[in-house]
Structure 1
Amino acid sequence: MDEILRFERVWYRYEEGRMALTDFSVTVRAGERIAVLGENGAGKSTFFLLANGVLRPEKGTVLWNGIPIGRDVKSLNALRKGVGLVFQDPDVQILAGTVAEEISFGPVNLGLSVAQVSRRVEAALDTFALQPYRDRAPQSLSGGEKKRVTLADAAAMDPQLLLLDEPASSLDPVHARQLEEYLALLSRRGLALMVATHDVDFAWRWADRVLVFHNGTLAADGGPAQIFEQEELLRRCGLEQPVLIRIARILGLKRAPRTVEELEQEWRV
């Protein structure tokens, strides 16, 4: 897979002097599904804000499609166009008077023609089942509906990489399952997805790669099986093994299933 985003020895310190990322390096490739794990304050949100160009590194380099991102408008715009960001709280992101206007905001700022903006808005409304809400005030929608609006916002920008910060927080089980279905749809369309989450069970069944943050550093980077078998690492970083791994151990299964459906199949055999 082609590289799209790279951090080379990036450092970031907040104004009060607190170090958020220390000597941080990572590469993200097209089409990956990456779960980003770690305790609160471990550096996950700072990483996302640097990856989207909201923050700029104190030291080190961020590269987008092989090109270093400077402080010039051109390179920053390329990064912000290519990397979409969905915040944990939809109300932070939603600004416009109607759902359709909200989704059109990003494409309009890209300087697209009226026809191009219209096509992107209609496609996003269709993809996220928002046509019935197009003329509604997004602030009046339910939490699950607002989350779909923020996903539509980001998708309408046609990014290569989409960052989602705790997207399932405050969602009920029905809307959380619906969110995973939308993530699967976006993945099939070729987007690279990075999801910051505390839900290790979600990370186990969904991700093909896991990044573990600890005290502003990258403590581990690997496949889910590789990461979740390291019990000492998990304890040090405030994480637990996924339930299905623990169940597989109790049942004596040779391979831990990724989903409940896989567990049922293994157990029947």
Structure 2
Amino acid sequence: MCGRFALTASPVEVGEAFSLADLEPFPPRYNIAPTQPILMVSAGELREPGSNFPDRRSLLVRWGLIPAWVKDTRDFPLLFNARSETAAEKNSFRTAMRHRRALVPASGFYEWRQIGGKRVQAYWVRPKHGGVIAFAALLETYAEPGGSEMDTGAILTTSASSDIAHIHDRMPVVIHQQDFSRWLDCRFQEPRHLADLLRPTEPGFFEPIPVSDLVNKVANTGPQIQARVEPSEPPRPARKKPIADPSSQMTLF
């Protein structure tokens, strides 16, 4: 899954990576959590002849997709992830998967190793060679009862690559730069044409770095949460005392 990520690259770096013109300035963000606004890139209007930029636009989106058919958001779960294997069939994601695919610029994400359902070690998972990466995402505009509209979105996940499978069994889908236009093309590319993109990253792409539990709290937003620490040892099961055989014990009778 992907429940926290970071975008610490500069607006210039993001603009160059995604071929975006006039990207608004933004600060580095080290601990982005669901329900917060995130930057997304989607297909825009048809580009003008001679333009050096593809038809892409950037927008701020609430991280947590709300389908258009939802009546009361208070009774609806927070959909910040969508399983790529079933998104094209699920009622909540089917329309967005066909008509509103997007990209989420990121510098990496966080994941937790768990034992017995308890988090025992946090990891900052970043591309081994640095740079900005793109998570596959879905976009949905939700019309609130009062008439206002809100852009919402979810990040697609897939099975974990060999780099992080020992930490968690899921990871965000990463779309490589050469596939941006194909993924964003909702006019001619249907979900069945893009199945080859919904796969784990190749071995060696990501580097998991053990970090402290500072990342657990959304209020911690500084670069210190990405500092490497010594990974904690998993708790060892308590040794059971052997049950003595009564026949081997001394007795007074």
- The TM-score bracket by the shorter chain reads under 0.3
Using CA pairs under 8 Å that are at least 6 residues apart, name the structure with larger relative contact order, 1 or 2: 1
Which is higher, the Rg of structure 1 or of structure 2?
2
TM-score after normalising by structure 1: 0.25
As a proportion of its length, which structure holds more helix? 1
TM-score using structure 2 length: 0.26
